[in-house]
């Protein structure tokens, strides 16, 4: 009886171990490895091989691969809806992986030696230098995109101070920053347009101007960049950074910025996130706050911005943001990743991402009614500083202003 019991136990353990090891092996890049494949796609060993292929061949290879993993850092549910639209079109499953920007980068870097589990990812200012430095991204993808000429020029050329001269990334959406205001408290004539008018507004209305602290949200970083640019001789000098390193001579000029903040910080309301600023404006606590176009659109459409409000970009300039996508060089599913990226810049993909994520399109020829700004306002949106300056002012803000 004991023997039978032992045999049964051993069999159960064996069965459990077999089940644990029974994960489906992803078809290796090579085109003909997937089950049920048509065999129509030529063989390939990496994503670089695919760049010279026709889109028909890439689609066939993508269908053989059957799936891809797409790393995002926000709007996971919305990106899953976009992924479903892609799957309905091509039958290729998109596994949306949501994670912190640097965590995703770390994962890609640790998988550099083998096949990466992340195929395609959003690229941020914080991670672009690290990934390019480790040669982790596939170059040349921008040039093969079918809708390349319609993509927003700024993000196609540069991402937070890093040049896209090798075509490492493709812009897929934009989101301009602007000033959101309580229209019952501020009339159109009194809206601050220049930096001096903003100073006057803060002086006359203490606590009514709000900005997110730079470490917690992009709108706070947008205000920081505008203030730095206005106090230290313009934005252009910060757009590029050689080898991703800040120019010490430029950083010396920032003492004027910290002096300015220490003069005004008691009259500024600092918020904990981009969304917190909008909710404080809605509650009547503040009258003027920096916000993303997408944030204002979402808040208004969901009934979270019930007051009489307006949204504009001041003459002093505020940045615009946007998402760019890159393929991981050693992706396990390069064809599916390439097809997904191309589709996302198509009219169908752009419409899906705009409908679900409420981000504006990454193309200049498509608008989805999400933009709340006039063309004149949008012309005042500026580029981002190089990433090293952003990291620097985030650190310095805590030391020089909050502490």
Q: Could you list the residues that contact other proteins (CB under 8 A)?
A: 100, 102-103, 105-106, 109-110, 126, 130, 213, 215, 270-272, 276, 280, 283-285, 391, 394-395, 398-399, 402-403
d(CA 386, CA 143): 23
d(CA 269, CA 363): 35
Q: Cβ 271 to other proteins, closest distance in Å?
A: 8
CA-based R_g, the chain, Å? 24
Q: Which is nearer to other proteins, 271 or 353 (CB)?
A: 271
Q: Cβ 217 to other proteins, closest distance in Å?
A: 12
C-alpha distances in Å from residue 180, one per residue of 225, 303, 397: 18, 16, 23
Beta bridge partner(s), residue 325: 122, 170
Q: Which two tokens stand for residue 182?
A: 């309580």
Q: Which two tokens stand for residue 380?
A: 């005042």
Q: Cβ 307 to other proteins, closest distance in Å?
A: 11
Q: Cβ 288 to other proteins, closest distance in Å?
A: 15
Q: Cβ 362 to other proteins, closest distance in Å?
A: 26
Helices 387-397 and 255-264, interaxial angle, to 10°?
Answer: 40
Q: Cβ 116 to other proteins, closest distance in Å?
A: 15
Q: Cβ 42 to other proteins, closest distance in Å?
A: 36
DSSP code string of 367-389: --S---S-HHHHHTEEPPPPHHH
Question: Which residue, among 121, 238, 110, has the nearest Cα to 168 in the 3D structure?
Answer: 121
Q: Which is nearer to other proteins, 129 or 381 (CB)?
A: 129
Q: Which is nearer to other proteins, 112 or 200 (CB)?
A: 112
Q: Which is nearer to other proteins, 54 or 283 (CB)?
A: 283
Q: Kindly report the CA angle at 367 between 293 and 90, in degrees rounded to 5? A: 110
Q: Which is nearer to other proteins, 178 or 277 (CB)?
A: 277
d(CA 84, CA 297): 23
Q: Which two tokens stand for residue 145?
A: 């995109």
Q: Cβ 17 to other proteins, closest distance in Å?
A: 18
The alpha carbon dihedral of 251, 253, 255, 257 has a sign of negative
Q: Cβ 76 to other proteins, closest distance in Å?
A: 17
Supply φ then ψ for residue 163, to 5 degrees.
-75, 140
Q: Which is nearer to other proteins, 329 or 363 (CB)?
A: 329
d(CA 347, CA 114): 35
Q: Which is nearer to other proteins, 40 or 183 (CB)?
A: 183
Question: Which residue, among 27, 88, 86, 32, has the nearest Cα to 60 in the 3D structure?
Answer: 32
Contact 130, 155 (CB under 8 A): no
Q: Which is nearer to other proteins, 161 or 275 (CB)?
A: 275
Q: Which is nearer to other proteins, 84 or 106 (CB)?
A: 106
C-alpha distances in Å from residue 234, one per residue of 239, 281, 316: 10, 29, 10
């Amino acid at each position: 009886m004991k023997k039978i019991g032992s045999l049964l136990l051993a069999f159960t353990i064996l069965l459990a171990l077999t089940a644990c090891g029974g994960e489906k092996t992803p078809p290796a890049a090579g085109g003909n490895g997937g089950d049920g494949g048509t065999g129509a796609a030529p063989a390939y060993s990496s994503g670089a091989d695919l760049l010279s292929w026709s889109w028909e061949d890439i689609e066939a290879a993508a269908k053989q691969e059957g799936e891809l993993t797409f790393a995002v850092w926000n709007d996971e549910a919305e990106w899953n809806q976009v992924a479903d639209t892609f799957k309905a079109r091509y039958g290729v499953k998109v596994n949306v992986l949501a994670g912190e920007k640097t965590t995703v980068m770390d994962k890609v870097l640790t998988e550099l030696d083998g096949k990466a589990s992340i195929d395609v990812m959003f690229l941020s200012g914080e991670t672009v230098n690290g990934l390019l430095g480790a040669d982790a991204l596939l170059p040349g993808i921008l040039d093969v995109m079918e809708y390349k000429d319609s993509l927003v020029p700024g993000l196609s050329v540069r991402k937070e101070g890093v040049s896209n001269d090798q075509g490492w990334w493709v812009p897929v959406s934009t989101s301009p920053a602007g000033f959101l205001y309580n229209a019952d408290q501020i009339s159109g004539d009194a809206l601050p347009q220049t930096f001096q008018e903003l100073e006057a507004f803060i002086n006359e209305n203490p606590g009514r101007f709000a900005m997110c602290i730079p470490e917690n949200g992009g709108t706070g970083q947008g205000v920081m960049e505008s203030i730095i640019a206005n106090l230290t001789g313009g934005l252009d000098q910060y757009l590029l950074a050689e080898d991703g390193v800040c120019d010490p001579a430029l950083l010396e000029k920032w003492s004027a910025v910290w002096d300015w903040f220490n003069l005004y910080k008691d009259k500024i309301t600092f918020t904990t996130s981009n969304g917190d600023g909008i909710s404080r404006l809605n509650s009547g606590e503040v009258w003027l706050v920096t916000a993303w176009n997408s944030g204002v659109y979402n808040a208004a459409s969901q009934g979270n911005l019930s007051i009489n409000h307006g949204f504009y970009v001041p003459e002093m300039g505020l940045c615009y943001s946007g998402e760019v996508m890159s393929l991981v060089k050693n992706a396990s599913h390069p064809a599916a990743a390439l097809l997904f990226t191309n589709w996302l810049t198509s009219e169908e993909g752009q419409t899906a991402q705009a409908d679900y994520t409420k981000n504006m399109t990454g193309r200049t020829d498509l608008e989805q009614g999400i933009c709340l700004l006039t063309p004149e306002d949008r012309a005042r949106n500026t580029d981002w500083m190089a990433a090293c300056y952003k990291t620097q002012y985030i650190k310095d803000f805590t030391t020089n202003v909050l502490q």
